Amino acid sequence: MAAPVFNTNTDSMPPNPDLQKERENASFNVKELTHILDGGPEKTRRRKELEKLILSDPAFSSKDLLYLNRSEEYENAALRSVRLVEWSKKYQWSEEDFATAAQQINNSAEAITLHKDMFIPALERLTSEEQKAKWLPLALNYKIIGTYAQTELGHGTNLRNLETTATFDPSTDEFVLNTPKITSMKWWPGSLGKSSNHAVVLAQLIINGKGYGLQPFMVQLRSLEDHMPLPGISLGVIGPKMAVNYNDNGFLILSKVRIPRENMLMGNAMVTRDGQFKQLKSDKSNYSTMMYVRVLITRWSYGVLAASAMTAIRYSAVRRQLYIDPKGGEVQILDYQTQQYKLFPAVATAFAMFFTSQKMLADYYRVLPSLIKGDKELLAEYHSLTSALKAICSDYATDHIDVLRKSLGGHGFMMSAAIPRFMLSALTLVTVEGDNTVLYQQTARYLLKQVALAASQGKLTGSASYLGQNLDNVRQIETPEDCRDIHLLLQVYQKMSQRILIRAGGLLQADLMEGKPEYEAWIKHQVTLVNAAKAFSLMHLVRCNVEALDELRQSASSELVLVLHRLCCLFALYYLDLNSGMFMQVGAISPDQLDTIKAVEMQLLSEIRPDAVALADSPDIPDECHKSVLGCYDGNVYERMYAAALADPMNKTQVHPSYHKYLRGITKSISSKL
């Protein structure tokens, strides 16, 4: 076994002096920002209580997940899931407590995540009062464990063409569920392969040979006695994935599975005993659960990006490489402007995502009663908005995390650095709950209707209200001070987005006027329409960031507001610079302005530099949860890297069995001929 040559006991070591100095020189109180991220001092206190409980249990603190195989990962996740449920009951946790506890372990503990995130919300929002009374207590008390089975092997985003059928049989008062073709099988639902015994299954309702669209059905999958699949049901896991192999994403095949008529979730529509279909509310309200998950994805995107930035910035403060002054010593790589340009826009983006997700979640709960009632205008608005922000936040998270990984050099390639794990987690968000390219198009379709409404002098509300404003007279960015005026920057973004949408709508309308079918015109301008939706999404991130900063001016310290103001400016200028062609194309800025914008952008890097470590520290993720040898709080990265290497099972013996099986023979053969 490889014995340690150097000291790896980091508990007895002082913190890295470079990292310590960074924290001492910060211009703001990091605890104040932590309280904002947590939602207040009391919530920070509660989070730390839950952390202490979680990390006191060997199930969470003593396992090294790097060396588990898939089956062991799932088993470990199942154990952790049960532990969280047990604690929730024992200590009477609130929903917020449970969510906070899951967040502390990066949601990697749970084998039954979809039970809380989609199954229970579906029961809350899609059922009749009678059905709620029957199923919800069972789900809330984990007497049944469920998932949400929507995506199929052959169809994901195109929900209208899902192929699973639920045919009403009036002779028995039952629905008969089938997945008639290989493309019809449910594929991808989390917690389906091994964990769940029930599922809300989305299927095409058929009565007397006539289709009535996609409807949700409660289906029992497994016996509550021995967990074996019930007759007519075939299910399993879909195989190894790039990441999240602790979750048993599964497939489901239904062969003439009969369920009672009462198992159709009848909050929005119902089928009577004599086979009459009745639409009670808008069928689009069925998507309220999916919208909720998209809101969560904006928050998860922030979380994984913030954890990645924490790793990269702490390591960059510790790592010394090369020289700025040939007569001096090696410098912290955090002092290089090129490194700052990789790191600080990622931090600014993470905070923009945080403020956006915070607003989105508050808005969701505010409008949820209206969504459930089927308010068509609000459903269209919120579907558009959640689609846009889910897409852009997951896209930006993956883009920045990859840059952050590269900023760490070769060490960032190691799994023990944690950045690869964060990267793979972020990649799942790009395609889950809708492919981003399709989501952008759905947003574009809604926004073009708002453009047409504005053109006809109609009243616009909500996120698209700016489309009805006269933005032609927005003043130009001329001075460095203008680049720090966040309200001016927001207006420039609104002007850009408005003009791009109007231009896209004009191109589409011109083809329609020439007699082209709508689908043909849409396909012809698909890239333009996606880019228009991206422009709107980016503008909305800037708007949420500006509005949050305006609110914080009333409650936060001036020192913290100044730091967050710099991040807000950097976020707006970075993406303006990155997308300058788009801004110039519609006259939102001129080429002459780019030099000023770029100069202020670079100046902001140097101003943010003294507070970089404090900003990275603010999410306050314990090392035991973060699990990064490069992003550790004390900065003793080299000792931790060495300790992680020694822990590799391949180092338990000095001679690997393959030597005796293969290598020894070839070396002996070669040496005998020499």
Q: What is the pLDDT of residues 336-348, one digit of tens each?
A: 999 999 999 999 9
Give the pLDDT confidence score for residue 198 in this predicted structure.
97
Question: How confident is the model over 479-533, as pLDDT tens digits?
Answer: 999 999 999 999 999 999 999 999 999 999 999 999 999 999 999 999 999 999 9
Q: What is the 3-state secondary structure (H, E, C) of 87-148?
A: HHHHCCCCHHHHHHHHHHCCCCCCCCHHHHHHHHHHHHHHCCHHHHHHHHHHHHCCCCCEEE
Q: How many helices (H) and strands (E) does the chain have?
A: 25, 11
Quote the crossing angle between the two packed helices 558-578 and 526-552, to the nearest 10°.
170
CATH number of the structural domain 21-110: 1.10.540.10
Q: Which of 73, 433, 601, 639 is catalytic?
A: 433
Q: Which of 25-39, 359-373, 543-557 has the lowest average pLDDT?
A: 359-373
- The set of residues, in sequence order, having a beta carbon less than 8 Å from that of 660 and lying 6+ positions away, is none
Which residues of the chain does CATH 1.10.540.10 include?
A: 21-110
Is there a catalytic annotation at residue 225?
no
Question: How confident is the model over 162-219, as pLDDT tens digits?
Answer: 999 999 999 999 999 999 999 999 999 999 999 999 999 999 999 999 999 999 999 9
Whether the per-residue pLDDT at 652 is higher than 70: the answer is yes
Which residues of the chain does CATH 1.20.140.10 include?
A: 289-458+474-616
pTM of the model: 0.91
Whether the per-residue pLDDT at 299 is higher than 60: the answer is yes
Q: Which of 26-30, 42-46, 460-464 has the lowest average pLDDT?
A: 460-464
Give the pLDDT confidence score for residue 108 in this predicted structure.
55
What's the half-sphere exposure (Cβ side, CA atoms, 13 Å) at 112?
25
Annotated ligand binding at 151? The verdict is: yes
- Give me the residue label for tokens 């449970």: 98
Q: Which helix (H) or strand (E) holds 166?
A: strand 165-169
Q: What are residue 405's DSSP bridge partners?
A: none
| Integer Cα distance of 118 and 120 in angstroms | 6
Question: How confident is the model over 40-70, as pLDDT tens digits?
Answer: 999 999 999 999 998 888 888 655 678 888 8
Domain 289-458+474-616, architecture per CATH: Up-down Bundle (1.20)
pLDDT tier at 330, thresholds 50, 70, 90: confident
- In the chain, % of residues over pLDDT 70: 96
Give the pLDDT confidence score for residue 203 in this predicted structure.
96
Which residues of the chain does CATH 2.40.110.10 include?
A: 144-280
Question: How confident is the model over 235-292, as pLDDT tens digits?
Answer: 999 999 888 888 899 999 999 999 999 999 999 899 999 999 999 876 666 677 788 8
CATH number of the structural domain 144-280: 2.40.110.10
Annotated ligand binding at 190? The verdict is: yes
Q: What are residue 235's DSSP bridge partners?
A: 252
Pick 460 or 618 by higher pLDDT: 618
